[in-house]
Structure 1
Amino acid sequence: MSIFQYYVASTVDGFIASPDDDLGWLLQFDRVEGVNESIESFMAGVGCIAMGGETYRWLMEHEPGKWPYPGTPCWVFTHHEYSAPAGSDITFVRGDVREFAPDLLKDAGDKNVWLVGGGDLVAQFANAGLLHEMIVTIIPVVLGAGKRLLPLNGPTAPLELVSSKILGGAAAELHYRLPR
C-alpha cells in the first residue's frame, strides 16, 4: 500500500532553508559518503511527487529548463500560474490536500508519494492525517533562522523511530513513522 513520505534534510536547529531560500549550507554536503546512495535508494520507492509552489519556483530558478524528476508524475500545489518544462509530467493544483490525496496515491501505483521540500505543504498533509513517514537527514549546521522543518501549530504524538544511520561521519538520517 502506498504512503505519504516526507524525505528532507534539516539543520540541527530544524530549518530546511535559510530565510531567503538559500541551500548553500546543504549543497556543501552533496559529496558526503552515503548521501547519494541514500537518495537513490529512497527514489527507487517513489511513484509520485507532491510539492508546493515555492519549491517548484526554486527548482525552476536554479535548474532552468531542466526537470530533475523525469518519468515521475508530480503534483504542484500552488496559487500561481506556472508552465511545465518539456518532458515533465506535472499537474498544477489548488485546494485542500485531502481532495487530491486519492489521485496522488493512484499515480504512485505500488510505490510511495514523496512530499518534497516546503514544510508548509507537508504540514497540510500532517494536519489532514495524511503524513505517514518522515525521513530526515540532520546536517551538522546551525542556521539560527529560516524555513522550519514542519511548521505545525502544536505537537504531534510521539513518532516511532524505524531506523537511523550515519552518513559519512557528518550527517544522521532518521526514519520515523507517524502514529495512526
Structure 2
Amino acid sequence: MSSIQYFVASSLDGFIATSKDDLAWLLQFDGFEGGKESYDTFMDGVGCIVMGGETYAWLMEHEPGNWPYPSTPCYVFTRHEYAAPPGSDITFVRGHVREFVQDFKDDAGGKNVWVVGGGNLAAQFADAGLLDELILSVIPVVLGDGKRLLPLEGPTPPLELTASRTLGRGVVELRYQFSSGDKPAGG
C-alpha cells in the first residue's frame, strides 16, 4: 500500500530554504557519507512524485535540460503555465491535494508517493491528514529565517519516531510516522 512521504532536509532551526530560495547552505553538504545511499534507498520505494510550482520552477532554473525524475510520474501543483521537459511524465494540476490523492497512489503502482516540496504543499497534505511519514535530514547549520519545514497553522499531534541515524558531516536523519489516530483533522 502506498504511503505519502515528505522526504526533506532542513536547517537546525527548521528551514528548508532561505527566504530567497537559496540552497547553497544545503548544497555545501553534497556527497556527505551515507547521503547518496539514503536517497537511493528512498527512491527505490517511490512510484510517484508531487511538488509545488516553486520547487518545479527552481528545478527548471537550476537544472536546465536535466529532469531528475525521467521515469517517475510527477504532479506539479501550480497556478502558472509551464511546459514539461522532453521525456518527463509531468501532470500540472490546480486544486486541493485531496482531489488528486487517488491519482497519486494509482500512478505510484503500489510504491510510495514523495511530496518533494515545498513546505507549503507538505503542510496541505498534513492539514488534510494525508501525510503518512516525515523523513527529515537535519543539516547542522542555522539559517535564522527562511522557508519553514512545515508551515502549519497549529501543532501536529505527537509523531512517532520510527528510526534515527547519524550520517556524515553531522547530518542526522529522523523518520517520523503520523499514526492514523494522530493525523491532523481531516484525515
Partner of 1:6: 6
Distance, in Å, in 1 between the alignment partners of 2:179 and 2:142 is: 29
Taking only the aligned residue pairs, the percentage that are identical comes to 68
Partner of 1:144: 144
Query: Which consecutive unaligned segments of at least 5 residues does structure 1 have?
Result: none
Q: Cα offset for 1:169?
A: 4.4
Query: Which consecutive unaligned segments of at least 5 residues does structure 2 have?
Result: 181-187
- Is the CA contact (8 Å cut-off) linking 2:4 and 2:131 kept in structure 1? yes
Partner of 1:120: 120
- Is the CA contact (8 Å cut-off) linking 1:52 and 1:121 kept in structure 2? yes
Distance, in Å, in 2 between the alignment partners of 1:52 and 1:100 is: 14
Partner of 2:48: 48
Distance, in Å, in 2 between the alignment partners of 1:60 and 1:169 is: 29
Partner of 2:164: 164
Distance, in Å, in 2 between the alignment partners of 1:34 and 1:154 is: 33
SS in 1 for 2:173: strand
Distance, in Å, in 2 between the alignment partners of 1:64 and 1:138 is: 28
SS in 2 for 1:135: strand
SS in 1 for 2:98: helix
User: Which 4+ runs in 1 deviate beyond 2 A?
Assistant: none
TM-score, structure 2 normalization: 0.95
For residues 10-52 of structure 1, give each alpha carbon's deviation from its aligned partner in whole angstroms, at most 9, with x where no partner exists.
0000000001000000011111100011000000000000000
Q: Cα offset for 1:117?
A: 2.3
Residues paired across the two proteins, number: 180
For residues 112-165 of structure 1, give each alpha carbon's deviation from its aligned partner in whole angstroms, at most 9, with x where no partner exists.
000002000010011111000000000000000000000000001100001001
Is residue 30 from structure 1 mapped to residue 30 from structure 2 by the alignment?
yes
Distance, in Å, in 2 between the alignment partners of 1:89 and 1:31 is: 28
Distance, in Å, in 1 between the alignment partners of 2:49 and 2:159 is: 23
Q: Cα offset for 1:170?
A: 1.2
Distance, in Å, in 1 between the alignment partners of 2:28 and 2:65 is: 23
